[in-house]
């Protein structure tokens, strides 16, 4: 309950102090005798300070309903990758974030699955940015948002590269990107189905492991416990990472104890504009992970020089 109250309080503060645009600098706001919120937007969006390091930004997409998520990655040698783009209504917000980061071109964009809260923002970015390579699973989907997404790719002469378990590539010279799920068999079976449920599509989301020297990150998109179980069974040796993007935004559909035990994350990021589950939050804490949530901490920057990791949240809450 405390985390939900903190979320509501911070949303009010964001509306008052940040509105829609990004406000640089560090601001301290005392909200009561026991709570202090430090707004540290400038450091989170400062790319020059962290040049030569891996930079991973979990972007907070503000909306009245669940906005999905978007994660922007910059390699030490300047190559860029975007994992998902939130929903249609937050596309312009994402566009402004990229402006603030001085990003005109993205080397790789990934659509982890065809749901509107993960591909919607690409309606904007396909028009505003130069995109070199677009990666996605080959899945059937018939929504209007997905149809517009495909048409905009055609307009920009972008042909998607379909990826699956076992595919991998280098982001720059030193970053290894590997897809752990779904398998070709799972995708082929799905393509034969007349209709896939929301659960089916979520479980067919791309699961991505990013490795830089001694550090690794796991991005799990919207998988449920069923797919977590598959990963633990078939890929357990690859799951032990430093930083975990909590499956399905930290929702109770996911983050089984068996999965958390296999991943053993030092840090967990719950990427969602609306806080999803106190039980899941506590489950990670009790497992020894340091937990951050974009619904509480705003935009979150993770920096790795290959040997050390720093977590820089936009909002720091002291009690």
Residue 208 has pLDDT above 80, yes or no: yes
What's the mean per-residue pLDDT of the chain? 89
Which CATH number do you get for residue 261?
3.60.15.10
pLDDT digits (tens, 9 = 90+) for 77-125: 999 999 999 999 999 999 999 999 999 999 999 999 999 999 999 999 9
* % of the chain surpassing 70 pLDDT: 87
Range of weakest confidence among 66-80, 157-171, 200-214, 220-234: 66-80
Residues sharing a CB contact under 8 Å with residue 268, sequence separation 6 or more, in sequence order = 243, 244, 246, 284, 289, 290, 291, 292
Domain holding 79, by residue range, is: 2-318
**138 neighbors 187 (Cβ within 8 angstroms):** yes
**Collapsing DSSP states into helix, strand and coil, what is residue 79?**
coil
Is 307 exposed, middle or buried (CB count within 10 Å of its CB: 0-12, 13-18, 19+)? exposed
Q: How much is the pLDDT for 66? A: 64
pLDDT digits (tens, 9 = 90+) for 15-47: 444 443 444 454 544 444 445 577 889 999 999
pTM: 0.89
- β-strands 70-74, 80-83: how paired? antiparallel
Number of domains in the chain: 1
Q: How much is the pLDDT for 3? A: 55
């Amino acid at each position: 309950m405390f985390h939900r109250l903190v979320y509501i309080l911070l949303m009010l503060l964001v509306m008052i102090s940040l509105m829609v645009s990004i406000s640089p600098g560090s601001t301290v706001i005392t909200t009561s005798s026991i709570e202090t919120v430090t707004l540290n937007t400038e450091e989170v969006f400062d790319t020059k300070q962290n040049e030569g390091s891996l930079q991973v930004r979990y972007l907070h997409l503000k909306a009245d309903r669940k906005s999905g998520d978007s994660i922007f990655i910059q390699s030490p040698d300047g190559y860029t990758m975007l994992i998902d783009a939130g929903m249609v209504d937050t596309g312009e917000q994402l566009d402004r974030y990229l402006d603030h980061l001085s990003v005109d071109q993205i080397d790789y964009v990934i659509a982890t699955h065809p749901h509107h809260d993960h591909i919607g923002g690409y309606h904007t970015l396909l028009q505003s940015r130069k995109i070199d390579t677009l990666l996605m699973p080959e899945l059937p989907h018939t929504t209007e948002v997905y149809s517009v997404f495909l048409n905009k790719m055609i307009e920009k002469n972008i042909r998607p590269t379909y990826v699956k378990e076992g595919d991998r590539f280098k982001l720059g010279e030193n970053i290894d990107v590997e897809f752990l799920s779904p398998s070709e068999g799972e995708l082929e079976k799905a393509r034969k189905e007349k209709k896939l449920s929301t659960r089916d599509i979520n479980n067919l989301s791309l699961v991505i492991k990013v490795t830089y020297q001694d550090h690794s990150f796991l991005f799990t998109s919207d998988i449920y416990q069923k797919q977590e179980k598959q990963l633990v069974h078939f890929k357990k040796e690859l799951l032990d990472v430093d930083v975990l993007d909590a499956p399905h935004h930290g929702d109770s559909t996911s983050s089984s104890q068996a999965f958390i035990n296999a991943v053993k994350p030092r840090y967990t990021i719950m990427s969602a504009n609306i806080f999803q589950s106190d039980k899941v939050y506590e489950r990670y804490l009790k497992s020894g992970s340091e937990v951050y949530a974009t619904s509480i901490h705003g935009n979150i920057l993770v920096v790795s020089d290959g040997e050390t990791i720093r977590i820089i949240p936009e909002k720091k809450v002291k009690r």
